[in-house]
Amino acid sequence: MVRSNLYAENTVNHLRVASAQILSVPGHFKENFSKHLALIKLAVANGVDVILFPELSLTAYEPKMIKDLVPLVEQFDLSEVQDISNRHNLTILLGLPTKGTTNPRISLRIFQANLEPIDYSKQLLHEDELAYFEPGSQQEFLEVKAVKIVPGICYETMQEKHNEIALAEKADLYLASVAKDQQGILKAVEHYQKLYHNTGVITLVSNCIGPMDGVICAGMSTVIHRHDSLVLLNEKEEGLLIYDYHLGQVRKVLLPLEI
C-alpha cells in the first residue's frame, strides 16, 4: 500500500495520530472488524503513525452482552492487524473486551510493529460498570517518534487520579478512547480543555457513533491542543481525525460509504 503524497518530504519525521470514529453494531464483532480494517488501511494511506479506536469498538459498548462475547472475541483471529502494524510501522489501539479474573475487562489491545500485542485495561470504572467489569491494574505507556503517549479509557480519563499518571510521565499526548452520548462528550471535552489549560497536555479523543447501551453515541471525536477544541467529525461521520503533532494541524478523512 502506498502512503499518501499529500505531505512534503520534510514532514516525514512528524508524528501523525489518528482518532478513528466508527459505528459498531452491538455484538457483531466480525462485521465490525471489517470496518476496523478499512479505517486502519485508510490510516496507512494517509501516513498515520498511531491510530486510536473508541471504547469497546470491536463489540460496541454493551455491558449486558459482553460476558458472552469475550470467549468468542478471544478466539477471533486478529493477526491481520499485527501484519499491517509490522509492514507499515503503525501503532494500533483497538477497543475490545478481554478476560479478567471474575469479570471481563474493558481494554485497548495495542499492536506495535514487530512486537507482541499488549492489553491496556481500564483501571478506574464508573459505578454503573462494576456489575459487569473488573478493573485493570497496570498503566501502559508508549513512545513514538520521541513523543510520550499515555492511553486512557473513557471515565478514567476524566478522573484526577488518572490525569496525574499522564503528568507524572510528562506525557506529550493523552489518548482518550471513549463511548459517550452528546451530554457525556461535551462534559469530557470541557474537562480535557481544562487539563490542557492547566498542564499543556494535548488530548486526542476517539468516540463512536450510533446506538450504545440504550443511548446514541454522539461522535464529536476531537483533539484538544489549545484552549478551544477542534471538532471535525460530526455525529454521522465515520472516518479519521488526523493530527500532525509537530505541525499542530488537524484534518479529517472520511470512510467511503462502501467498504
Ramachandran region, residue 146 (left: φ > 0; alpha: ψ -120 to 50; beta: rest): left
Residue 226: per-residue pLDDT: 76
Q: Is the pLDDT of residue 6 over 60?
A: no
Residue 49: per-residue pLDDT: 98
- In the chain, count H helices and then E strands: 5, 15
Q: Angle 96-99-103 (CA atoms, 0-180°, nearest 5)? A: 105
Q: Is the pLDDT of residue 153 over 70?
A: yes
Q: Is the pLDDT of residue 9 over 60?
A: no
Cα–Cα distance list, 234 to 79, 91, 96, 241 (Å): 31, 25, 23, 11
Identify any residues that bridge with 174 across adjacent strands, giving them in sequence order.
Answer: 150, 203
Residue 1: per-residue pLDDT: 34
pLDDT band at 229 (very low <50, low <70, confident <90, very high): low
What the block records as the C-alpha cell of 114 is 514487530
Q: Per the structure, how many domains does the chain have?
A: 1
Q: Is the pLDDT of residue 3 over 50?
A: no
Residue 257: per-residue pLDDT: 62
List, in order, residues 6 or more apart from 121 with CB less than 8 Å away. Answer: 98, 100, 105, 106, 107, 135, 136, 137, 138
Question: Is 51 inside a domain boundary?
Answer: yes
Question: Is 113 inside a domain boundary?
Answer: yes
List, for residues 159-212, the tens digit of each pLDDT value: 999 999 999 989 999 999 999 999 999 999 999 999 999 999 999 999 999 999
Question: Is 231 inside a domain boundary?
Answer: yes
Residue 139: per-residue pLDDT: 96
Domain of residue 80 covers 15-254
- Dist CA 163 CA 195 (whole Å): 8
Beta strands in 99-172 (DSSP E): 105-111, 118-121, 142-144, 147-153
List, for residues 106-130, the tens digit of each pLDDT value: 999 999 999 999 999 999 999 999 9
Residue 223: per-residue pLDDT: 96
Percentage of the chain exceeding pLDDT 90: 88
Q: Is the pLDDT of residue 144 over 70?
A: yes
Question: Is 9 inside a domain boundary?
Answer: no
Percentage of the chain exceeding pLDDT 70: 93
Closest CA to 19 of 177, 197, 215: 177
Q: What is the CATH number of the domain that holds 45?
A: 3.60.110.10
Per DSSP, the three-state class of 48 is coil
pLDDT band at 227 (very low <50, low <70, confident <90, very high): low
Alpha helices in the chain (DSSP H): 29-45, 63-75, 79-88, 160-168, 182-199
Question: Is 177 inside a domain boundary?
Answer: yes
The residue length of the chain stands at 259
Residue 188: per-residue pLDDT: 96
Ramachandran region, residue 92 (left: φ > 0; alpha: ψ -120 to 50; beta: rest): beta
Q: Is the pLDDT of residue 259 over 60?
A: no
10-14, 134-138, 163-167, range with the lowest pLDDT? 10-14
Question: Is 127 inside a domain boundary?
Answer: yes
Residue 7: per-residue pLDDT: 42
Q: Is the pLDDT of residue 64 over 80?
A: yes
